[in-house]
Structure 1
Amino acid sequence: MKVKSLLLFLFLGAELGNAYAQHRERQTHTNDTITSNYQPQELFSPLFYQEKGNEFHSANGNPGPKYWQNRADYVLKAAIDTVSKTLTATENITYTNNSPDALGYLWLHLDQNTYKKDARSNFYTGTAATQHTTGYQLEEVQLIQNGKTYKADYIVTDTRMQIRLPQAVSAGGGKISIAIKYHYTIPGTFGNRTDYSYTKNGAIYEIAQWFPRMCVYDDTHGWDTLPFLGSGEFYLEYGDMDYSVTLPANMIVAGSGELVNPTEVLSPQQISRLNAARNSDKTIMIRTLAEVKEAVAHPQKKGNLTWHFKMLNTRDVAFGASKAYIWDAARINLPGGKKALSMSVYPEESAGNDAWGRSTEYLKGAVEHFSEKWFVYPYPVAINEAGTAGGMEYPGILFDGIGDKGKDLFSVTAHEIGHNWFPMIVGSDERRFAFMDEGFNTFVDIYANDVFNKGEYAPKRDGEYAPNGGNPADEIIPTITDPNAPIIMTAADAVSERYRHPIEYYKAAFGMVLLREQILGKDRFDYAFRNYIHQWAYKHPQPEDFFRSMESGGGEDLSWFWKSWFYNNWKLDMAIVDAHCVNNDLKEGLAVTIANKERMAMPFTVAVTLKDGTQQRMQFPVETWIQNKVVTFTIPVTQEVKTVQLDPDAALPDVNRANNSFMLK
């Protein structure tokens, strides 16, 4: 190096050093004078996971090499007495114990007992129900084990039944069959998720949680026996379900899975129309309003008919039944050339192109989007049913509101069918961890709104995502600043109605948006999230499996985010403290000082608006805050600066936007 060049290098280095020293002096002064609740060592502390990965749940978030889960297959034969409003049924369960434990007793869910006067669900909110049924009336419970039939020794406790076995079900594949004969009174509209209600052309029956179902036995809790209280939903084993329903011949049944005896219950004309619908992207009428008014479902049949359905690899089935149903259908186009059928059934009160006349189109669009984006819809049929349950999901069928129209109908349809991915395909425990059900599903809804019919109903800023139609980042602030708000990880039934949507749906969904759009980026997020879905399809993930999947698949330690957003309601408040030209010389750049004043941290963007109106942006990673409460950095600029803006798109849940702007003199 020449001497002249060396002297120039030393001079420039000294000038840069002087500038840096001035910045550090200014920053030190700032550190001394700014009040901050932020503690880097707290947010970025190690050992977030309490346990290492194991052979059942791997450290990378995948099922381990020895992962197991039990199986329950069902054969059900039911009949509905439309006069007494009674469902009578026989049930045969084949239960397979794939666990490493011999099981000396079994537990089953009896959800209809939630309608009894003394049910626990009458007490957990402090407001007891005023209408009741007598719940399940168990006429006979038998066991078939090792070729012998026994009368079961059982007890019923609220919405659970324990069967005490004469001989344990052996580990590693042992089987037992349970035969149950029962009946119950179908609740009226007070049933909420399952009910009957009246329309001008006849009653509508929405039949769900209608048979005793096996509790999950897993490697986390053993028998998962939380009672059904109402807010917490379901956690069930997978299996094949074969069910039949007998009722008057003038009624239509819309049920989960595939109708396997169409020639016995449908007219030749209806079968022909269904075949046409399977090859049509436009909605085809299967049963018109005129045919409803003729009070005929099957012109060639009288008395009773038995509708027979099968659904494979599912955790539940439900159905709707009515003589008032208008019925239409269209083809669903799935990746890989696969096809399914979108169908809607609804009464005259819901008819019209501004209402349920577009339901099948909405359902088709949502299933096609979710299948292309995340995981292919696995079932032969998707059904939207109009009734008074008004927004409830079961595998392959939705119960949505009779009065829903337009954007509201699209949104509830997309949301409820989205539950077929979370938790029907990815079988999480929604009775404990509602965010893995409602939060994930609300998140994927956002993008379904964006793409349906070229954004006809976009953006999704209604309901649980942004309740008041505003900026989602701003709308979450009242919740995270509320000292009484529960955290996302609160048990579902422990979250009061006031906070249920803000926490379980909205905060969880917005957290996913932050992960995708601010932390990981769309490509890395989508790759990791798709991997999580595919790894845990038809299995039982725990929250840590999701956290680990996103970290391993996305390539980031996200413990700071899980800690602040999911396990706490920590606030974010970043502030611009100062902005000035280095040494008052524009050529040396703009020094900007930013403080983190609350316990959360996030990556962030700073925008500098120049005199001519152009804007320069710089992005900063979350590591900016790994050691510091206050940082100063230099932005090269080419002309006089007018303003500096932190988080210019208002994408972050910053609780005080008033300190996010700085205007230079």
Structure 2
Amino acid sequence: MRITSFLSCIFSVLMLFSTYAQDKPVNNQHVFDDLMYRQGSIYRTASGKPGTAYWQNRADYTMEVSLDENTHVLTGNIKITYTNNSPEQLDFIWLYLEQNVFTETSRATLTTPLNGNRWDGNVDGGYTLTNIKANGKENPTHYINDTRMQVYFEKPIAAKGGKASVSMNFSYKIPEEGMDRMGRLSTSEGTIYALAQWYPRVAVFDDVVGWNTEPYLGAGEFYTEYGDYDYKITVPASHIVGGSGILKNPTAVYTQKQLNRLEKAKESDKTVYIIKPNEVGKKSNRPKNTGTITWHYQMKNTRDVAFASSASFIFDAAKIDLGNGETGLAQSLYPAESDGDHAWTRSTEYTKASVEFYSKNYFTYPYKNAINVAANVGGMEYPGVSFCSYKSKGQSLWNVTDHEFGHNWFPMIVGSNERRYAWMDEGFNTFINHYSSKAFNKGEYSSYIDQPRQITNYLTYSKSEPINTYPDIAQSRNLGYVAYYKPAVGLIMLKEYILEPERFDRAFKSYIKTWAYKHPQPSDFFNHIENVTGENLNWFWKTWFYGNGNIDIAVNKISKVEQGFIIEVDNRGEIPMPVKLEITYTDGTKADVKLPVEIWHRTNRWRYLHKTNKTIDKVVFDAKKQVADINAANDIGVF
């Protein structure tokens, strides 16, 4: 081509783009382009599954502890057997010493605002550790920093199956105020001890960041390895204990009358008293009246254990139907201060309904026992055991009970990293709570989230933060939305509006089954949902989970043309959405239209030709209010 012809061609093209630029549509490619999450590896596949070389390490625990209710001190010993399944040898392991948070110099104490917050705790505690051994060697090289402890071995732990052991004696004063996760409560019949984070725990070593050693500050919760637990708890003989797992010595800790009642409860859909309110504190209530009694528990393939102990417990229970002929036992332990038909007398009913719903709809409950304990904790979850406020009644008790037992699925069964990704346990759990509440007792109580538009005040708040905000960094006033409500609303929209229920449920249940007792990352969830649904949802993950924009779809204009009507819709927000329109005709009949999200690829205004012989009266976007659209005023267009 001659140079003059080439320049003439270029000039023509430039003139064309100059003319086009005068009415250039918005380019939304930055919303729809790919994220790095699509990349797979031998450890985690692009389809959102564990890869052919996926590994995770294991920690098995043997523990014996004793509780002194005069000094409020817990004393015991622990042996940890650690299995290194990783492809590299390990010179050391990291442990969490979370009781060290209850000191004046802990990072959590020093980063607590002067006006306090939910995670205030006592500062007269912390671990005393003695007789530390690594593979039998006394006083191995070790370092303690705040809530973390590093223990070295003389010989590295071999890769791909090597084992090591760490043992020690420990003691600490049980805090009264335990950062709203544990503690002790004085009642008329004795102190209730809610014990959690009560032993040194191994941190997770994974294929993503290696050792996960974030300090315990309060908002960020926990990330621990799976393993088997064998633990014994020695308490005053007057105490009743409820612990994670299976009680191995029931005949040693219960009276014959209580054992008979427990057998009845295992067959009963109605709540059965094991210890009646008028039996608390009586000598006949215990198999012995002086000294101590040891309770022996075992739990297999779990990431944690917790327990409660007190002489003040009313105790009731009922059968849980888990499906396929399997049953478990819902149990409640609570003091006289919590008794009543509108209070904790319904706790076992709530626990049973919650566990049965999640077992039926998502994944069978594996722990057999589900124990709800009234304590001075607002609400906190552990495998098979929940601590809930002893003051809760009615809907508040249902809400906290259902929420804490829902956590057995996220993160106890699906073992995500709570300390980094609070939304993968709190948000997912709040999402399933929405459906459990709708199902309970024919809708006796409302859901946390009646509809997605319920959170638009937060979404338009000038200081709102995105879902992926690190929980210990998020503003305290925002954490409920960042970790709980916004991710739950996102999943509700994904299920009810974007994908529709059957398609979403198939993928969500597949995710739970695929990652049960494993450690998924956010990318694993995104990849798995996309691969099972067959839908590219990059635009949704990017804008809703990793962005801080909003949804605002508007019905802009309705015009009559020969073939029918042109309906013009605008995307006035930062987040695209498929567009569901309800069209009402002047004769009162209606039609539904769904425009795919791809209409927003290159523009924020779309004109849709609706062919009809009827006359349109009005057009409504999202008539069922399934989308967290921030401006309802522009959802309706009238012809």
TM-score range, shorter chain: over 0.9
Q: Is residue 646 from structure 1 mapped to residue 621 from structure 2 by the alignment?
A: yes
Out of 163, 185, 188, the residue aligned to residue 175 of structure 1 is: 163
Q: 3-state DSSP class of the match of 2:377?
A: coil
Matches within 5 A, 1:154-169: 154-169=142-157
Q: Is the CA contact (8 Å cut-off) linking 1:141 and 1:181 kept in structure 2?
A: yes
Q: CA deviation at 1:123?
A: 3.1
Match of 1:107 among 94, 98, 102: 94
The equivalent position to 2:127 in structure 1, one of 118, 131, 136, is 136
Mark the CA change 1:492 to 1:296 in structure 2 (over 3 Å): closer, same or farther. farther
Note the C-alpha offset of 1:104: 0.3
Secondary structure of the 1:334 match is strand
Q: Deviations over 1:324-351 (max 9, x none)?
A: 0000001111121111110000001111
Within the candidate set 192, 206, 222, 1:218 is matched to: 206
Does structure 2 retain, via aligned residues, the 8 Å contact 1:93–1:179?
A: yes
Equivalent residue, structure 2, for 1:374: 362
How far residue 639 of structure 1 moved from its aligned partner, in angstroms, is: 3.2
- Determine the structure 1 residue equivalent to 2:3: none
Q: How does 1:167-316 map to 2 (within 5 A)?
A: 167-294=155-282, 297-316=285-304
Question: How far, CA to CA, are the matches of 1:189 and 1:203 in structure 2?
Answer: 13
1:488 and 1:600 map into 2 onto residues whose CA distance is 14
Letter in 2 for 1:351: D
Given candidates 312, 320, 335, the residue that maps to 1:324 is: 312
Written as runs of structure 1 = structure 2, the 5 A alignment for 1:142-541 is 142-144=133-135, 148-294=136-282, 297-457=285-445, 459-460=446-447, 462=448, 465=449, 472-541=451-520
Output the CA distance in 2 between the equivalents of 1:327 and 1:482.
45
State whether residues 252 and 297 of structure 1, in contact with CA within 8 Å, keep that contact through their aligned partners in structure 2. no
User: Within 2, Cα distance between the matches of 1:344 and 1:356?
Assistant: 8
Q: Distance in 2 between the 1:190 and 1:225 partners?
A: 21
Structure 1 residues 157 and 209: alpha-carbon distance in aligned structure 2, compared to 1, 3 A threshold: same
The residue matched to 2:364 in structure 1 has which SS?
coil
Preserved contact between residue 103 and residue 169 of structure 1 (Cα < 8 Å): yes
User: Which residue of 1 is the match for residue 8 of structure 2?
Assistant: none
What SS class does the counterpart of residue 493 from structure 1 fall into? Answer: coil
- C-alpha deviation, 1:254, in angstroms: 0.6
Contact 1:267 1:298 in 2 (8 A): yes
CA deviations on 1:437-466 (whole Å, 9 max, x unpaired) are 100000000110111122222x40x3xx4x
Determine the C-alpha separation between the residues in 2 that align with 1:663 and 1:33: 26
Partner deviation per Cα, 1:168-191 (whole Å, 9 max, x = no partner): 111111111111101000001354
Conserved? CA contact 1:78–1:89, under 8 Å: yes
Tell me if structure 2 keeps the 8 A contact 1:595–1:630.
yes
Q: Secondary structure at the match of 2:410?
A: helix
Which stretch shows the higher mean deviation, 294-303 or 331-340?
294-303
Kindly tell me: are residues 299 and 165 of structure 1, through their superposed partners in 2, closer, same or farther at Cα, counting changes over 3 Å?
A: closer
Q: Match for 2:537 among 554, 558, 582?
A: 558
* Aligned twin of 1:11: none
1:612 is displaced (CA, Å) by 2.9
Instruction: Provide the residue aligned with 2:581 in structure 1.
Output: 606
* 1:589 aligned partner, one-letter code: G
> 1:381: how far off?
0.3
Cα distance, 1:354 vs. partner? 1.2
Q: Distance in 2 between matches of 1:284 and 1:32?
A: 76
More deviation in 483-492 or 104-113? 483-492
Work out the CA distance in 2 between the residues paired with 1:125 and 1:643.
Answer: 54
Could you tell me how far apart the structure 2 residues matched to 1:130 and 1:558 are? 42
Cα displacement string for residues 363-410 of structure 1 (whole angstroms, at most 9, x for unaligned residues): 111101100100000012000000111200000000001111111111
Task: Report the Cα distance in structure 2 between the residues aligned to 1:343 and 1:190, rounded to whole angstroms.
Answer: 23
Conserved? CA contact 1:98–1:173, under 8 Å:
yes
Distance in 2 of aligned mates of 1:130 and 1:206: 14
Aligned to 1:57: 44
CA distance in 2 between partners of 1:639 and 1:194 (Å): 65
Query: Any unmatched runs of 5+ in structure 2?
Result: 1-18
Shift of 1:472: 3.4
Aligned residue type for 1:563: K
Contact kept, 8 Å, 2:552 with 2:631, in 1: the verdict is yes
Q: Which residue of 2 aligns with 1:570?
A: 549
374-383 vs 182-191, which moves further:
182-191
State the AA in 1 paired with 2:458: T
Q: How many residues align?
A: 617
Q: Distance in 2 between matches of 1:479 and 1:123?
A: 29
Q: State the SS of the aligned residue for 2:341.
A: coil
Cα 1:397–1:226, aligned 2, differ >3 Å: closer, same or farther?
same
Deviations 1:101-132 (A, max 9, x none): 10001100000011110000023343365741
The TM-score, its normalising length taken from structure 1, stands at 0.90
> Once the 2 structures are TM-superposed, how far is the Cα of residue 637 of structure 1 from its aligned partner?
3.4
**2:179 and 2:218 in contact (8 A); partners too:** no
Alpha carbons 2:65, 2:76 under 8 Å: kept: yes
Deviations 1:517-554 (A, max 9, x none): 11111111111111111111000000000000000011
State the match for 2:630 in structure 1: 655
Aligned residue number for residue 580 of structure 1: 559
Distance 1:434 1:185, change over 3 A: same
Question: Deviation digits for residues 412-457 of structure 1, max 9, x if unmatched?
Answer: 1110000000000000000000000100000000110111122222
Aligned-partner Cα distance in 1 for 2:50–2:614: 56
Deviation at 1:626, TM superposition (A): 2.1
TM-score, with normalisation over the residues of structure 2? 0.94
For residues 286 and 382 of structure 2, the distance between their equivalents in structure 1, rounded to whole angstroms, comes to 27
Amino acid of the structure 2 residue aligned with 1:424: M
**Cα deviation 1:489-508 (Å, max 9, x = unaligned):** 11111112110001110000
* Alpha-carbon distance between aligned partners in 1 of 2:469 and 2:89, rounded to the nearest angstrom: 32
When structure 1 is superposed on structure 2, of 193-202 and 87-96 the one drifting more is 193-202
Matched, 1:622 2:609: no
Check 1:416–1:182 CA distance in 2 against 1; reply closer, same or farther (3 A cut): same
Per the alignment, do residues 297 and 506 of structure 1 end up closer, same or farther by CA in structure 2, a change over 3 Å counting?
A: same
Whole-Å Cα distance in 2 between the matches of residues 495 and 244 of structure 1?
38
Residue type of the alignment partner of 2:124? T
Q: Deviations over 1:172-230 (max 9, x none)?
A: 11111111101000001354211111111111000110000000000011111000001
Match of 2:9 in 1: none
Whether contact under 8 Å (1:386, 1:400) holds in the other structure is yes
